[in-house]
Structures are given as C-alpha cells and as structure tokens.
C-alpha cells in the first residue's frame, strides 16, 4: 500500500472512530439491552456492517498500488525554480535575473537555466545555459 493511501486510510479510520465514539453514547450496551427487553440487534448489525465497509476488500488488498506522485517526484520532469519572484529591491545588477528558471534534478544539481526574451524583430528566443547535455525537442502548438 502506498504511503499516500495508507495516510488517507488512517485519516478515514480516525474520523470513523471519532464518529463511532460519539455514536456509541446513543447506543445502549448489549448488557443493558438485555435488561430493558428491547431488541437492539438490528442497530448492532448496521454498526458492524458499517465497520466492515472500512476494511479493504481482497481486490483492494491485492490491487496495484496507486500513486499521487507528480512527474517532479518521480524524476520524469525537473523541478522549476524561479530566480527572482519579487520586484522588491530591483537593481541594475539583478534586473537580468527576472524570468530565468533553473531546472533542478532530485539531487539538487541545476541541469539547465532557461528564459525567453523578445528579439528586436518582435519574435521570441528561448535562451539558457545547460550544465548537462540537452536535446532540443521544441514543437509548435
């Protein structure tokens, strides 16, 4: 079972436990039920059925675990990190840093730094620095 699923199941079970604790104050214990002559077996059967729903089915137990990992988590894509995120303190020394994005590998290495600039003719150019070999696979949409 994945960590995310285990955490979600734990949260559900905790909430269900809290709900059942609150509900139990309204259900008369079996020993008292026998004393007052009322038949609470249907209420207990419903409660047991509700608890059974919380148990994983054999299919869920044997199923391939699902994952909520992003492409950044799995390493399929590099995590973007913007150089400058605030206009506070802009100087002529750091003005060139705006719009640049580092793409970092899981180990913290910056694989590439990329940005887009407008050229004098009004078209755009993708520019950057590569710290690792890169292939260019840019298509048009």
Per-residue pLDDT of the chain (141 residues; tens, 9 = 90+): 556 666 666 666 666 665 555 555 555 555 555 555 556 566 666 666 666 666 666 665 565 666 688 888 888 888 898 887 667 767 777 778 888 899 998 888 899 999 999 999 999 999 999 988 888 888 887
Residue 119 sits in the same domain as residue 99: yes
Tell me the residue ranges of DSSP E strands in the chain: 79-82, 101-104, 110-118, 124-130
Residue 42 sits in the same domain as residue 87: no
Q: Collect all residues with Cβ–Cβ distance below 8 Å to 16 and sequence separation of at least 6.
A: 50, 51, 54
Residue 11 sits in the same domain as residue 46: yes
- Domain count for the chain: 2
Q: How far apart are CA 86 and CA 98, in angstroms?
A: 9
Which domain does 38 fall in, by range?
3-62
Classify residue 115: in a domain, yes or no.
yes
């Amino acid at each position: 079972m994945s960590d995310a699923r285990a955490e979600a199941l734990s949260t559900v079970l905790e909430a269900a436990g809290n709900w059942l604790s609150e509900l139990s104050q309204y259900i008369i214990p079996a020993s008292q039920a026998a004393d007052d002559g009322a038949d609470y077996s249907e209420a207990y059967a419903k409660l047991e059925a509700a608890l059974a729903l919380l148990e994983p089915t054999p299919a869920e137990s044997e199923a391939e675990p699902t994952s909520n990992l992003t492409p950044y988590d799995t390493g399929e894509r590099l995590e973007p990190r913007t150089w400058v995120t605030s206009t506070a303190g802009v100087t002529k020394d750091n003005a060139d840093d705006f719009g640049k994005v580092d793409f970092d590998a899981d180990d913290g290495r910056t694989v590439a730094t990329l940005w887009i600039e407008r050229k004098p003719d009004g078209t755009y150019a993708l520019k950057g620095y590569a710290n690792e070999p890169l292939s260019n696979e840019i298509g048009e949409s």
